[in-house]
Structure 1
């Protein structure tokens, strides 16, 4: 029976991408002055795994590059040459080429063959070199002193090409010799410093592990007279051991060993499964419909006599609890750690700082903080703009920093933390900070209405204006003024907000606040006339009924209301949407105090209906974009309710602008 191997291609692509990301992470953490041999070995294993998978699935171009890469890595981890920055740069270049080749096979994107050839030549040239071994505490032992062992492998009969391939792989781990046994089986002897498990992992690519036996039949290489390699006291020999008895390290034919290995593998395999995003989205949509149906049942059952229908109402209450638990569990499936985003920036910062001649220490905090997958994918581009601007415009060159009494290396940090129902992501640097005078001057040149009396927070917001840039020259990094306005627009589209804090000479911090998920939110139902709207609960500060004397009319500016000594603008929702209210007088209605981006206002309503979880439906895709409305939801009675865009309301949209976009 033939097996269609193409069905496993997607698994290979995903695993190869994960291995390349892990390789980049390890390379960024590598210290060229005192390299950690475990890190080098881990990088080698990643390259070798990619090579094995690529060869299995016929991706020979990737296998050829990884073969040269692992050969160089093998020499480094054996201590045959010292690690230099040239090696690390070449490894980064090889990782980029492998990613390009992987995307070529996965998405049919073009592959630059000249870049592939250049990387191969670069790796081969480095591998052929004989750099002196750096003397440090973490450097490996010289080859003549490295403790090694001789492993004997008994294999079934193999085809010549398979045997050659296996010998080539094992040769990367040590010296290999072969012998043909009388029964047709093969015996390979490997003098290596690697463990039997490492050798077994290599052989498993070609040989069925069940037909393979590995024994250690002596130690090769240098040993001190007492047999302890000069580091340890000699161990006493076991009383029952014979001098000529080999020590069994691994034997795949042992039933107990097979059972233990199988149980371990099964437990690892059972810990996670790969599920397509489409299936997860379908599950979330179904749970959303279930939440709506549960709300309908709860509303209809609320009119029943609790004495006559006690058991039914108890079941409805249980259904409500179970639905809430199910909704939270399903939503958690879409939650991903921010490390998915943060992990791509260390490499970018390294390359940018090197290109600009700057020194930057990049730090991350809260990488385990989780955010909805849909938001994580959409936040990558805005964060990329902010990080690039911090490196290019924020952090100064080493000479400028030294003259200002700072350390030559600037600090750039990315952090994420939960605050209520939101996640706050901050990009912070200790650079020169924003220049208030230059920003105001540029704003006047662009025809913006500004004044010297503006607060700093208002001045900083000017950099988000379209086409705004204070860069003295345009570079391929930034300076064209097409980044920050895109940042603001994209974040606003996700229901988020941006805040800037800056001090001249001390640095800048840009905070992004986003809802944890776009699918379901906690809302407050409010009534205006015969219409019911939803207010996202995260924006609500309090509700009150004002006294008549607390409401003031400002000529040409509208009304304000005094709340504990502070005057807040009063927004009458019925005027914005052209609705006949039950209470036009604020002293007879209800005011809900809202806050967004540091701005506060009072929203005039007729009545507070209640608090509930609502499933957010996209209004723009089903109808059209409506100013002041961020989405819609289905209520328990089956009616449609609009979700108010509080951030847009507080940004000061006038009655005319709102009337043009209002639903008639």
Structure 2
């Protein structure tokens, strides 16, 4: 008996479902202009359809039902039966939130808010009745009649469908059983399964689909109705649809005398497959345990999606390493002095291969910052609506890469800075109009590389910081006296103090003086820094400087006495030998060195770390 653990497949379903929800959300936000964009609508529909199909495999029936309602509404939008307005977009965004809640609950095996789900589901069902003669005030699904047109005769057709999916179709969340269920809703279905392609058991991969089918459908449906069912997997299968007309009918129910046909079973079937002269052992599928338990929220951080180009580079480098190793083996077998040059060349090649391998392995941890930026369109949409403001979000530098750990730990600080810009920075439309600005404010998120670091900037064209308010608050807190005159840059440092806020009212968004100190602490924990620039009436800019990676870094070795120190190369601006004539003492305590037109303090490591050194002369360093 062989056991198959579906845990890995289940995790893959959740990962892809959350990605599909992100696609739905970003596409819905792009529809806000109100114009019909077929590509975006198809993206949204395809994402909802994939979630429904995958949920059906694991018997998440509530997710299947809910996503089906959203999918049906999207289908009507695609057919032009519903106009794209803000109400519809908000409803579908809320449906995406509910789906995310249900998926998280199913993943963690916990309960979700059923009342919230039912409320949204009712709204979806009511939206399906828009522009139809239905009393929405007294809406009850049980009272909705099924209306069928009998104005003209329907033609019963026999459709002959040949369906051969590609082997990895199950990995994309498309289950042929679900397709057959949808076909069965169109009429009477007969299914013939071809098992000739099933390999011997030793070569069987349970995640691949080796079957193909011939289907006979008796239905009044048109070809377009059938093609629509296969629409989302048309690129993953060989499909042939032919028809033959049987007779015209006027009644919706037809009795056909057909040979017994296999049933399409509602629950996922246990299929026993046999081949001539081949015995296949019973396969037991271990379903995930359904009892409620606490799931570690950090499990999602234990995996990383790597581009195929990075994998290909690693494979190529490993191949070169193998070649270099073979060459060195040959040199070592019959080594003599004449092989010195060849040995040196081989070792140099080995060093190049090793360095290249190190750089490419480190690059695997690098992810584009778009993984973080992509969450902000929805945040800005919801928050600006809540605050009654008009805001345009501009994203740039989304392909800038940084370390996965840095990216994850920067998520919350970025959210806090964006919320602050929306709440405190950008003004209400009336205020902007009075100030001679466009009613729509601009919030800009930018990322770029600079001097071996990554810089993330959050800027807005809002009111900017009120320096006098900051100064008054600092005096009130006792941090400075009224007589002290600080530069604007020094006053901006106070906004990072715990409990500091110039807001006179506490809102749901901000105003308690909690968060900016945490933002700076989190950034410093990553080895980064944050600085503020602001112009009253014109806007503010936060610039965050972070290291590219927290993994292995190149360094320069420095020996002091018997101790060895490593200085990161990214921190070294220039390396030179000190000239004694350019060294002076400042106030008799600090040594300074004149480098061109600048004076740089000198720190002697043997003094700082109390190390016995063999020399104290700077020029010998």
Pairwise same-fold verdict (TM > 0.5): yes
Asked if the contact 2:159/2:244 (under 8 Å) is kept, the reply is no
Asked if the contact 2:429/2:440 (under 8 Å) is kept, the reply is yes
1:279–1:48 distance in 2 versus 1, CA, 3 Å: closer
Taking the aligned partners of 1:131 and 1:509, their CA distance within structure 2 comes to: 51
Indicate whether 1:154 and 2:160 are aligned. yes
Give the match's secondary structure for 1:30.
helix
Indicate whether 1:589 and 2:615 are aligned. no
1:583–1:408 distance in 2 versus 1, CA, 3 Å: farther
Within 5 Å, give how 1:232-631 maps onto structure 2: 277=303, 309-449=340-480, 453-544=485-576, 545-548=578-581, 550-554=583-587, 558-582=590-614, 584=616, 588-589=617-618, 607=621
Measured after TM superposition, the shift of residue 278 of structure 1 is: 8.4
Taking the aligned partners of 1:452 and 1:153, their CA distance within structure 2 comes to: 88
Gaps of 5+ in 2: 134-155, 164-174, 193-213, 246-299, 326-335
1:418–1:532 distance in 2 versus 1, CA, 3 Å: same
Deviation digits for residues 555-610 of structure 1 (CA, Å, limit 9, x no counterpart): 7x8454444444444444333322334555xxx426xxxxxxxxxxxxxxx73xxx
Asked if the contact 1:169/1:202 (under 8 Å) is kept, the reply is no
Measured after TM superposition, the shift of residue 34 of structure 1 is: 1.6
1:379–1:278 distance in 2 versus 1, CA, 3 Å: closer
Q: CA RMSD in A?
A: 4.0
Taking the aligned partners of 2:43 and 2:305, their CA distance within structure 1 comes to: 34
1:92–1:449 distance in 2 versus 1, CA, 3 Å: same
- What is residue 124 of structure 1 aligned with on the other side? 125
- What is residue 213 of structure 1 aligned with on the other side? 240
Asked if the contact 1:81/1:131 (under 8 Å) is kept, the reply is no
Measured after TM superposition, the shift of residue 309 of structure 1 is: 4.2
- What is residue 613 of structure 1 aligned with on the other side? none
Taking the aligned partners of 1:192 and 1:400, their CA distance within structure 2 comes to: 58
- What is residue 75 of structure 2 aligned with on the other side? 74
Taking the aligned partners of 2:28 and 2:215, their CA distance within structure 1 comes to: 44
Give the match's secondary structure for 1:128.
coil
Deviation digits for residues 40-65 of structure 1 (CA, Å, limit 9, x no counterpart): 22211211111111111111111111
1:415–1:340 distance in 2 versus 1, CA, 3 Å: same
After superposing the two structures, state which structure 1 stretch, 87-96 or 34-43, moved more.
Answer: 34-43
Asked if the contact 2:464/2:539 (under 8 Å) is kept, the reply is yes
1:320–1:371 distance in 2 versus 1, CA, 3 Å: same
- What is residue 236 of structure 1 aligned with on the other side? none
Measured after TM superposition, the shift of residue 12 of structure 1 is: 0.8
Taking the aligned partners of 1:423 and 1:151, their CA distance within structure 2 comes to: 64
Taking the aligned partners of 1:151 and 1:36, their CA distance within structure 2 comes to: 34
1:550–1:436 distance in 2 versus 1, CA, 3 Å: farther
Measured after TM superposition, the shift of residue 476 of structure 1 is: 2.0
Taking the aligned partners of 1:405 and 1:453, their CA distance within structure 2 comes to: 32
Measured after TM superposition, the shift of residue 422 of structure 1 is: 1.3
Measured after TM superposition, the shift of residue 6 of structure 1 is: 4.4
Taking the aligned partners of 2:177 and 2:546, their CA distance within structure 1 comes to: 56
Taking the aligned partners of 2:157 and 2:487, their CA distance within structure 1 comes to: 74
Asked if the contact 1:152/1:214 (under 8 Å) is kept, the reply is no
TM-score with structure 1 length normalisation?
0.65
Asked if the contact 2:161/2:242 (under 8 Å) is kept, the reply is no
Taking the aligned partners of 2:420 and 2:533, their CA distance within structure 1 comes to: 15
1:481–1:554 distance in 2 versus 1, CA, 3 Å: farther
1:22–1:461 distance in 2 versus 1, CA, 3 Å: same
Asked if the contact 2:159/2:243 (under 8 Å) is kept, the reply is no
Measured after TM superposition, the shift of residue 421 of structure 1 is: 1.8
Taking the aligned partners of 2:342 and 2:216, their CA distance within structure 1 comes to: 74
Measured after TM superposition, the shift of residue 121 of structure 1 is: 1.2
- What is residue 333 of structure 2 aligned with on the other side? none
Give the match's secondary structure for 1:477.
coil
**Number of matched pairs:** 487
Taking the aligned partners of 1:28 and 1:378, their CA distance within structure 2 comes to: 26
Taking the aligned partners of 2:487 and 2:390, their CA distance within structure 1 comes to: 33
Give the match's secondary structure for 1:27.
helix
Measured after TM superposition, the shift of residue 531 of structure 1 is: 2.1
Taking the aligned partners of 1:275 and 1:467, their CA distance within structure 2 comes to: 32
- What is residue 142 of structure 1 aligned with on the other side? none
Taking the aligned partners of 1:184 and 1:461, their CA distance within structure 2 comes to: 72
Gaps of 5+ in 1: 133-149, 219-273, 295-304, 591-605, 608-664
Asked if the contact 2:160/2:217 (under 8 Å) is kept, the reply is yes
Residue 230 of structure 2, aligned match among 168, 176, 200: 200
Taking the aligned partners of 1:519 and 1:26, their CA distance within structure 2 comes to: 35
Give the match's secondary structure for 2:422.
helix
Deviation digits for residues 511-543 of structure 1 (CA, Å, limit 9, x no counterpart): 111111111212222233332222222232224
1:169–1:204 distance in 2 versus 1, CA, 3 Å: farther
Indicate whether 1:29 and 2:62 are aligned. no
Asked if the contact 1:152/1:190 (under 8 Å) is kept, the reply is no
Give the match's secondary structure for 1:368.
coil
- Bigger relative CO (Cα 8 Å, ≥ 6 apart): 2
TM-score with structure 2 length normalisation?
0.70
Deviation digits for residues 141-177 of structure 1 (CA, Å, limit 9, x no counterpart): xxxxxxxxx99742599xxxx99975874699xxx56
Asked if the contact 1:181/1:187 (under 8 Å) is kept, the reply is no
Asked if the contact 2:373/2:395 (under 8 Å) is kept, the reply is yes
